[in-house]
Amino acid sequence: MNWLTVLTSSLMAALGALVGGLIGGLLARGREGGARQIVVILCLVIGAAVGAQVLGPRASAWYELHNAEAKLLDVPVYRVLKKHEPTVYAKILAEYKRTVADPKQMDAFTSLVMNEVSDVTSRRMGTASQDSLIALIREMLGNLRVLQKDGDSCFRYLFPQVAGPIDFKKHFDEAAESRSLTLLAEVIRSSAEEPAKAEPPNVAQEKLVPVVQALAEEFGDDAQMLGNVAAPGVDRGKVCAITISLYDRILKLPEADAAMVLRSLAEAV
């Protein structure tokens, strides 16, 4: 499997989980549990994506072992972790070196990064800058629109854990993947260096509810598909359309409100 595909698919799966939680938590059940869970899933999947990024085609084992940290630091997220989360970074680097020496440890490395980066992300999203949060979602929404013409690919981009990931290189170049990683790094960096003030959760919830209600008006009962995307026979094209509509509505909020919603969800975890 191409690891760039895993990376990008995983990032989109994170936002797919976000949608499912919103629909399930706010529209179908009308309580906050689903909204809180979406951030847990978001952070876990981002962690898996970051872990997968450095595990591409191998050069010689000797070369990779002696250049392990340099390769790791080619990825913006790891540079940010080294500066702002040194303990986490040290764990990741040690496990990565073991993986370079013994590729059979790849699963262990990915698992470690998934857990460590998810913890960092869940902490950092709550105080990340408005610009960094909006930019990350805008980038991913753009990717979804590119894929919308092929409902199956769009669905798999959102939910690779359900249908398997897309072949990223068929749809996007490496620059697109690099942008996503850079934007994620900025979320963490801004939280560490310029932490934003969190607003009361009820204020953000009030901003979010009309968005979800509008989605229900647009798609009717079909909107609840996002609460169970693994259901047999789910309309993958419609799931993609609903997802795009939701992100578009969030981004049409004043940017301060959109960022507030995302921070509030992170703080609720």
Amino acid making up residue 130: Q
Task: Provide Rg for the chain, Cα atoms.
Answer: 18
**pLDDT value, residue 55:** 53
CA distance 216 to 228: 15
Q: Is the pLDDT of residue 87 over 80?
A: yes
**pLDDT value, residue 86:** 96
Lowest mean pLDDT, pick from 86-90, 119-123, 138-142: 119-123
CA distance 185 to 142: 19
CA distance 9 to 120: 20
**pLDDT value, residue 243:** 83
Helices (H), the chain: 3-22, 33-53, 61-66, 68-72, 76-84, 86-101, 106-125, 130-147, 151-158, 160-163, 174-193, 201-219, 236-252, 255-268
Lowest mean pLDDT, pick from 34-38, 56-60, 119-123, 205-209: 34-38
Q: Is the pLDDT of residue 33 over 80?
A: no
CA distance 218 to 75: 40
Highest mean pLDDT among 6-10, 42-46, 110-114, 131-135: 131-135
On the CB side of 48, how many CA atoms lie within 13 Å of its CA? 17
Give the tens place of pLDDT for each residue, 208-263: 788 878 888 898 888 878 777 888 989 999 988 988 888 888 889 999 999 988 78
**pLDDT value, residue 163:** 74
Q: Is the pLDDT of residue 66 over 80?
A: no
CA distance 75 to 52: 11
**pLDDT value, residue 10:** 40
Q: In which element (H, E) is residue 222 found?
A: none
Full-model pTM? 0.70
Q: Is the pLDDT of residue 5 over 50?
A: no
Work out the angle at residue 16's Cα, subtended by the Cα atoms of residues 199 and 173, and round it to the nearest 5 degrees.
110
pLDDT, mean over the chain: 74
Q: Residue 23: which pLDDT band, with cuts at 50, 70 and 90?
A: very low
CA distance 191 to 197: 10
Give the tens place of pLDDT for each residue, 7-21: 344 444 444 444 444
